[in-house]
A and B are shown apart, each in its own frame.
Chain A
């Protein structure tokens, strides 16, 4: 049972970042203009605008058959790139991977769903996209419909589905794939709690009872520790640790301290964060706050091409569950395109001492999400003398509440 099913040797993936062209696709005009300029200026400063960025660097590991591997790491640590290479969406720059068995990857729920087609049609379409044959789908059809709980809406176009139904159907198709290796990227963060539980149960069943190998990326440590028996920690494109899940999670949580501010990498959006950082009330940058001082989050927003933008922040506790979410509409009618500073202050004596991080988002109320950055900027609230100080390290919740106590003898 413990034969190697995936073997990765010295895997490296490099991207070329060109600083003068932030768009991902080029326009012919730019290329021609650049060539023409190049001819005139000859070879002056030729390589200054290009920089290599290694999303994965010399990663080697072996996964045994039946392992349930949880892959954790911060945004940009190389997790998604690894999954994309394993599922053959992009090519590695160097290295070699040997895989014994069929791989099905679920990097997104409902890939290829077409809104105009009915649920029934989409089951066949999505199944084929994920690599099932028509006879497989036919055989599993009833089980899929049953799992998704949509039998009444089977012949309705999915554009009329509620988002919950949509996700259920999409996951149901994926759950009935029968590959030897299943790759899942953070797709369980959707759907209601009951369905999430059902999906997790299905995933456990798939790996534990049917002996399939699962690779699972998530920021939710709770889910990782429930499902996986092996944990891999990635940091800056390198594989930092492989071993017991609980050790991997602890290492990841400890490491999360280092990052102090967020700097934008992707600039071709109608509006985006240029940087996000913490400061004290007096304006000094810091990442550790006493519990009785306010936590100020400063956002620098750039490329403002949209007039109506909402900004949202969620504070995550050390288990990456949301403590609270706050949103604010920004009326950008009068703002110039140059940028904007937004401050958000969490009142003092609200967050309980402990470790936290942020989800930050820019969106246009329910219409579009411009930017959603998950789990960045870890910060700490330090006990400066609460009544719970004696219990430091124990899990006594994430907020402080000044309750009214009363008692009678």
Chain B
């Protein structure tokens, strides 16, 4: 028998990893195979997302109902305050409750994602100091949890539409696009904040403030057509404005999308994503030393 065997390959188990990967560790080296690693660790990503979803509703009496109760109550209050008390106009013939709820969906998603993701690294510090994997997985899997919540609250939107006998506009087929946009907006900002939170724990106080503040600054309780024309572009610097307007356009279909604002919002979203990933990657290597 003259079979030549590479050294080091002799007692490999016959499995998917039958070739020996050579790993080089050098200062600054982890940069190079980062995205490959991310792909290799995809199963960890699934399982961490699954863990977070599963743990979220354990030991809560109402379980997944919380995903509905919070947006529902906020919606009712906003409908009463902005619709009845302040008598702000709705868009076309849409019931004010649906106007609010259509915006509440992406906003709740954004707010949850921001809260969960920014606390995720510190919350998983035991993993970070003990095992290696691309750290991006942790905030990403916690954003997925918020996406599940989003799915649950979406069911309530359908019930609301049945209740009001409201037929959504045909634009609804574009909704997935705006969901992706909401995802990117929250993911980018969360990455930036979570990396900062590792180093400066002040951010755990800043984030709830951003969320609370943002709820009133974003057009959640009112239609963005209420904003005077000359301020619309400035207003669109808030990336959630385009997402919320997009959601309303898909569901209510009454108001045309304000295009310059939409483009500006999208650019801001992309900008935050790039900055978020860049800063995260830059600081990631020292997480284990700083956390």
Residues of A at the B interface (CB closer than 8 Å) are: 1, 3, 5, 15, 24-29, 31, 65, 84-103, 105, 107-108, 111-112, 114, 116-117, 121, 124-125, 128-131, 133-134, 136, 178, 180, 210-211
| CB closest chain-B residue, reference A109 | B130
Interfacial chain A residues near B198, Cβ < 8 Å: 25
Q: How far is the CA of A125 from the CA of B47 in the complex (A)?
A: 6
Interfacial chain B residues near A114, Cβ < 8 Å: 51, 55
B62 at the interface (CB under 8 A from A): no
Interfacial chain A residues near B129, Cβ < 8 Å: 89
Interfacial chain B residues near A96, Cβ < 8 Å: 24-26
Partner of A91, one of B30, B127, B202, B203: B30
Q: Are A101 and B21 in contact (CB under 8 A)?
A: yes
CB proximity of A56 to chain B, nearest CB, Å: 13
CB proximity of B35 to chain A, nearest CB, Å: 16
Q: Are B290 and A27 in contact (CB under 8 A)?
A: no
Q: Are A128 and B58 in contact (CB under 8 A)?
A: no
Question: 16 more A-B contacts (CB under 8 A) besides A98-B22, A98-B25, A101-B20?
Answer: A3-B8, A25-B199, A85-B25, A87-B131, A87-B132, A88-B30, A90-B286, A93-B27, A96-B24, A97-B25, A112-B126, A117-B51, A121-B54, A124-B47, A178-B13, A211-B11
Interfacial chain A residues near B202, Cβ < 8 Å: 27-29
Q: Are B131 and A112 in contact (CB under 8 A)?
A: yes
Q: Are A125 and B25 in contact (CB under 8 A)?
A: no
Interfacial chain A residues near B17, Cβ < 8 Å: 102
Chain B residues bordering chain A, tally (CB within 8 A): 48
| CB closest chain-B residue, reference A93 | B27
Q: How far is the CA of A117 from the CA of B48 in the complex (A)?
A: 12
Q: How far is the CA of A102 from the CA of B22 in the complex (A)?
A: 8
Interfacial chain B residues near A105, Cβ < 8 Å: 131-132
Tell me whether A91 and B27 are in contact in the complex, defined as CB-CB below 8 angstroms, given that A25-B199, A111-B126, A125-B51 are known contacts. yes
Interfacial chain A residues near B155, Cβ < 8 Å: none
B59 at the interface (CB under 8 A from A): yes
Interfacial chain A residues near B203, Cβ < 8 Å: 28
Interfacial chain A residues near B21, Cβ < 8 Å: 100-102
Interfacial chain B residues near A129, Cβ < 8 Å: 44, 127, 131, 133
Tell me whether A3 and B30 are in contact in the complex, defined as CB-CB below 8 angstroms, given that A96-B24, A98-B22 are known contacts. no
Q: How far is the CA of A374 from the CA of B124 in the complex (A)?
A: 26
Q: B1-35 CB contact bits vs A (8 Å, 1 = yes)?
A: 00000011011010111001111111110100000
Q: Are A5 and B8 in contact (CB under 8 A)?
A: yes
Tell me which residues from 119 to 160 in chain B have a Cβ below 8 Å from any Cβ of chain A: 124, 126-133
Interfacial chain B residues near A25, Cβ < 8 Å: 198-201, 290-291
B285 at the interface (CB under 8 A from A): yes
Interfacial chain A residues near B20, Cβ < 8 Å: 100-101, 180
Complex A-B: 30 CB contacts under 8 Å: A1-B10, A3-B7, A3-B8, A25-B291, A26-B199, A28-B200, A29-B202, A84-B288, A85-B25, A86-B25, A89-B131, A90-B285, A91-B286, A94-B27, A95-B27, A99-B24, A101-B8, A101-B21, A102-B17, A103-B23, A111-B126, A112-B131, A116-B55, A125-B48, A128-B43, A129-B127, A129-B133, A133-B16, A136-B15, A180-B20
CB proximity of B13 to chain A, nearest CB, Å: 6
Q: Are B22 and A99 in contact (CB under 8 A)?
A: yes
Interfacial chain A residues near B291, Cβ < 8 Å: 24-25
